[in-house]
Structure 1
Amino acid sequence: MRTRTIRLVTVLATAATAAGFVVGCSTTNAVPSIGYAVDAKIASYNGGSTVGAASGATAVFGRVLTGFFYTGPDGQPVADTDAGTAKEVPGETQTVQYRLNADGVYSDGVKTSCDDLYLTWAARSGRFTRPGERTGFFDAASTAGYADIERIDCQPGSKDATVVFRPGRRYLPWRTLFSAAELMPAHVVAKAAGVADVVTALQSGDGAVLGRIADFWNGGWALAPGALDLTKFPSSGPYRIESFSARDGLVLVANEKWWGAPPKTSRIVVWERGTDYAAKAKDNALGVVDLGAGSVANLKLDGFDQHTVASRGVEQLVLATGGVFASVDVRRAFAQCVPRQALFDTLGKAGQVPPNGLGAGPLNAHVVQQDSLYYGPASRAGEKYLGADVGAATATLASAGARQPTIRIGYQGPDARRAQTVAMIAESCRGAGFGVVDAGAPDFTPSRLAEGAVDVVLAGQGSMPGPAGSATNTTAFSALRAGSGLDFGGFTNTRYDAITDQLAGEANSTATLNLLTEAENLLWAQLPSIPLFATPRLIAFGNGMRNGIPGPTQAGTGWNMDRWVLQR
């Protein structure tokens, strides 16, 4: 594993070896380039933006843009001391001291600095709003944790930053802040905005300057196959972007300015969603595969060690709260006819079903994971929606006064499993009076839900099409919070927002259980989304792969790609 996390991962690797997950080989010829198939749709370098988060930037750029923490294979935040150190300071007011690695430098030669932290906080705090409006300058995926920060003490260009939280507020999952693929290069933004440094510029409060900074943060790091201005995409990790094209994929190469242990393989080619994975496998162009199980029809992976695992991601239906679903009764009728048990039995199993924990059955909670100690009590409200109760759905729909509503379910395709999911829902809900339309498309984005072009998004947490989920479940909580960039359905509930605020700082287990149970009861009553099951992931390593450990989380299996070695 990475040089400074090898001891932490040893236990995971030992357990994984027993399950046949870690792949080793004694042959001698290591290939110079490894193909990595992942069903994220690469759209932005900026994992903290709405577009970046929803398109899976953390699964692609975790070893290109480093942070103080990254999501490990078990879903927990793990410290990355190559990037720097973070230490919580005892005291009445929560304070965290950050120190960037003294040797840290971007691939363009500019040193990492506390400016990067200040920019990330400014963009994600929700504090910077347009004059006379409540609309923020920045299109952040969420403000979780960052909104609780009162200030950051940062001398522009310094390696040190002191983060001070609001008086009376504690944010327990503070290790999820300033993390991999979300800590962006502030000097690039400063150049684009025409300012000396972003810290001074942001502190000035000049609306025009703030607008230029935000415009670049929101869209300046957009990615699509084609020619790239690589000066906008410097790396702070062991890999940097070399090129991106439909024919050759996203090519990552060793970053010559990286100060840590050099990557074991000098070139990784990322193949995004929409790639003909079967053809790439046949051409021997893949070494690692991390896809939704059953999402690619007729995929044959000869010469691979394959495993289907239950992930931290949640397969779910994210519902609009306007249009055809403006009435909660219509949402309830739809939930009553969705065949959740049958969907799990047919599409949701990841190998042998365990008696409890991840993948043990249909998921009966929106924000509480199946392996949580709180899951049993908190998930009871969802048990009444296990099967397709067409009679109840028919009666509920009639009482709502809705006549044969048409429901358009969108997802990013092609995806054979999700197409079958829509087909099963259509068949079940037809008897209750719903018409269900498959609105999956290769160019689908979850923003179509907010635009009214579809009524439902079929995806993971935060409407992510590919790898998703973490042990902290921060994305799941924030995606249902009013005003969050990931709240594509437009759900608004002040009590839910208050619960999430309290949970973020609650250390008492009894109080936590009560709050989570209240949250789940509220969400099952309001139905902004319908959880289905822990998304099964197909993770495969080519024969001869060393140091391959599945990452069924938002960081994907590429979480340690700099340690991969493929020997043939």
Structure 2
Amino acid sequence: MSWRRRIGAAGAGAIVTVAAVTGCAKSEDQVPSIGYAIDNVLTTYNANTVDGAASGARQAFGRVLPGLSYLGPEGIALADGDVGTAATAPGDALTISYKINPAAVYSDGVPVTCDDLVLAWAAGSGRFTGPDGQQLFDSASRAGYSDIDRVDCAPGAKDATAVFAPGRAFAEWRGLFGATALMPAHVAARAAGVPDVATAVRGDDPAALSRVADFWNNGWKLPVGELDPALFPSAGPYRAASYSPEDGLVLVANEKWWGNKPGTDRIVVWPKGTDLEEKMASGDVDILDVGAGSVEGLDPGEGYDTVTEPSRSSEQLVLATGGALGSAEARRAFASCVPRQALFDTLGHPGYAPQSGLGSGVLNSRIVQPDTLLYGPVAGVAGNRYLQADTGAASGHGPLTVRVGYLAPDARRAATVAAIATACEPAGITVQDAGTADFAPSALAAGQVDALLGGTASAPGAAGSDSLVPPVYSLAEGNRNNVGQFRNGRVTEIAGQLAVETAQDRQLGLAVEAENILWGEMPSLPLFNEPRTTAVANGMHAAVPNPTAAGAGWNMDRWILLR
């Protein structure tokens, strides 16, 4: 357990059914296909691009594209020995030795190799740029990967060594190259017309890397219908067989998987836009993982075990730093009329009321979570500011219109925007609901909206972890999921320092300094820990809620449903 987690748990409810399936269960009692509903769209196989990271890809493909670690329910990266091992090695700088399981092979028969690690590093490092200095890879975050100086890999080999830059010992290196981070490099190499990715990266061949990056950015978008196994190979217990909004994403057991056989041969992932009431009534949804209150009128009923709990995702408004909110003064004026306390009271803790920790109150830090020792002094920077709607503080800037975008439909977020609009109207600030069914965080960077309502790092659905690195990096220059395009050199420096700092007192000082800047510049406004609802059909075994970016599907290969 991380040293940061010391304060009492949220107490939101018991874990959903967790039980071993005993040998007395008859095979004819087992349901052959399990339906899993999430509150995000499925647009791509690649969960690492800006829009891919904000999609449901991480929840859907965690057991299709596994890595050297996975995110457990506590939000901590746990080693995945089925894929390989990672261990420190001697060296002047932090050096990690990776060994991929000799049996690891993609569903198309091509071995999993260190080339896959090289591709993940190249994409996430931000190092490779085009002739105009633009980043070739549309990677959502550079955290950790930008600290690696090089990845030594003989093309096609099963081992690799990552050597970090001097002074850049990334503290959370165990979470690198994790679930959904490793994309099949042999597919990208074939599409780009290069012998292998490792050679192209080592040679720093601009033309070759540009083609590799173009495919990595765009080549894995999900088509409707059957998925070409040569384009979408799996390295996990499941492989993706087909996808359509009407029939969902169909995952089937991967015959080439070398680990324990999946508990159920077929999983159907139902994305946002599915008629959940109809699907649950027909028995097509057995596990539901959505934002609490996001689906109006949805009641799983007696056929499900249901728990609602605070998640590690920080519900927040991410503000543009151009257009109507181009000045810090305008952003502070808008923040002044947002009724954060009232939003928490009415929408932020449905069905639970912990005295401390996650979900216990208005969120007053963008960087650290309420169940950590750092939270008290860091959150204290906010004082009692920006809790109640303050018409006086919000007035005087002149007429202001703020378009708030989010992935719709979402009843809770629609109610959030409506409450903000009502509170801001007396101050002369017009708040417009700009939620759409095809909304993506990139819309904020494109100037199509003035504010984004979402979770940690702008994710519409499941998000967050037990780490302060992703939140602060989402406000750092050069990080592509900094969709508000906030630029502050000191905050960027602090993000880099927090990535390698392990001493609690120095982490505290850096986080306090960052929050002082952020409450003044106001690139975002934290609201509360997003409440999540997980519903599991009666008779389900081994389904465990995971209120992090991994979602309930983190261990879907263990699910068994008995009737």
Which of the five TM-score ranges fits, normalised by the shorter chain?
A: over 0.9
Whether 1:83 and 2:78 are equivalent positions in the alignment is no
Native 8 Å contact 2:469 2:498 kept in 1: no
Q: 17-26 or 157-166, which moves further after superposition?
A: 17-26
Alpha-carbon shift at residue 54 of structure 1 (Å): 1.3
Counterpart of 2:507 (choices 480, 503, 512) is 512
In the other structure, the counterpart of 2:390 is 389
Q: Which amino acid counterpart does residue 121 of structure 2 have in structure 1?
A: W
Native 8 Å contact 1:99 1:160 kept in 2: yes
Whether 1:182 and 2:181 are equivalent positions in the alignment is yes
Whether 1:403 and 2:398 are equivalent positions in the alignment is yes
SS in 1 for 2:261: coil
**Where does structure 1 differ by over 3 angstroms across 4 or more consecutive aligned residues?**
15-18, 23-28, 224-228
Q: Deviations over 1:177-227 (max 9, x none)?
A: 101011111000011011111111222232221111010000101124345
Q: What does 1:167-316 align with in structure 2 at a 5 Å threshold?
A: 167-302=166-301, 303-316=303-316
SS in 1 for 2:269: strand
Native 8 Å contact 1:16 1:549 kept in 2: no
Q: Distance in 2 between matches of 1:182 and 1:549?
A: 22
Whether 1:33 and 2:33 are equivalent positions in the alignment is yes
In the other structure, the counterpart of 1:367 is 367
Whether 1:460 and 2:426 are equivalent positions in the alignment is no
Alpha-carbon shift at residue 508 of structure 1 (Å): 1.5
Alpha-carbon shift at residue 137 of structure 1 (Å): 0.8
Native 8 Å contact 1:425 1:436 kept in 2: yes
Q: Distance in 1 between matches of 2:203 and 2:152?
A: 15
Name the CA shift for 1:385/1:224 in 2 (closer, same or farther; >3 Å): farther
Q: Deviations over 1:81-104 (max 9, x none)?
A: 000000012443100000000100
Q: Distance in 1 between matches of 2:12 and 2:317?
A: 35
Q: What does 1:342-353 align with in structure 2 at a 5 Å threshold?
A: 342-353=342-353
Alpha-carbon shift at residue 229 of structure 1 (Å): 2.8
Q: Distance in 2 between matches of 1:446 and 1:541?
A: 30
Structure 1 residues not aligned, in runs of 5+: 1-14
Native 8 Å contact 2:321 2:327 kept in 1: yes
Q: What does 1:42-121 align with in structure 2 at a 5 Å threshold?
A: 42-121=42-121
Native 8 Å contact 2:56 2:271 kept in 1: no
In the other structure, the counterpart of 1:549 is 544
In the other structure, the counterpart of 1:12 is none
Name the CA shift for 1:232/1:169 in 2 (closer, same or farther; >3 Å): same
Q: Distance in 2 between matches of 1:125 and 1:18?
A: 40
Whether 1:497 and 2:498 are equivalent positions in the alignment is no
Alpha-carbon shift at residue 293 of structure 1 (Å): 0.3
Q: Deviations over 1:269-315 (max 9, x none)?
A: 00011111111011111110000000001112120001101000111
Q: What does 1:300-339 align with in structure 2 at a 5 Å threshold?
A: 300-302=299-301, 303-339=303-339
Q: Distance in 1 between matches of 2:274 and 2:523?
A: 32
Q: Distance in 2 between matches of 1:496 and 1:437?
A: 30
In the other structure, the counterpart of 2:159 is 160
TM-score, normalised to structure 2's length?
0.95
Native 8 Å contact 1:56 1:554 kept in 2: no
Q: Which amino acid counterpart does residue 532 of structure 1 have in structure 2?
A: L
SS in 2 for 1:431: helix
SS in 1 for 2:531: strand
Q: Distance in 2 between matches of 1:110 and 1:505?
A: 36
Q: Deviations over 1:13-32 (max 9, x none)?
A: xx999925234588651100
Alpha-carbon shift at residue 372 of structure 1 (Å): 1.1
Q: Which amino acid counterpart does residue 247 of structure 2 have in structure 1?
A: D
Counterpart of 2:433 (choices 438, 443, 456) is 438
Alpha-carbon shift at residue 112 of structure 1 (Å): 0.4
Native 8 Å contact 1:42 1:224 kept in 2: no
Alpha-carbon shift at residue 242 of structure 1 (Å): 0.6
Native 8 Å contact 1:23 1:544 kept in 2: no
Q: Distance in 2 between matches of 1:520 and 1:540?
A: 36
Alpha-carbon shift at residue 475 of structure 1 (Å): 2.4
Q: Distance in 1 between matches of 2:256 and 2:428?
A: 61
In the other structure, the counterpart of 2:7 is none
TM-score, normalised to structure 1's length?
0.94
Structure 2 residues not aligned, in runs of 5+: 1-9
Q: Deviations over 1:344-367 (max 9, x none)?
A: 010010422111100001100001
Whether 1:530 and 2:521 are equivalent positions in the alignment is no
In the other structure, the counterpart of 2:3 is none
Q: Distance in 1 between matches of 2:561 and 2:40?
A: 23
Q: Distance in 2 between matches of 1:18 and 1:42?
A: 29
Native 8 Å contact 1:311 1:535 kept in 2: yes
Alpha-carbon shift at residue 168 of structure 1 (Å): 2.1
SS in 2 for 1:231: coil
Alpha-carbon shift at residue 41 of structure 1 (Å): 1.1
Alpha-carbon shift at residue 473 of structure 1 (Å): 3.7
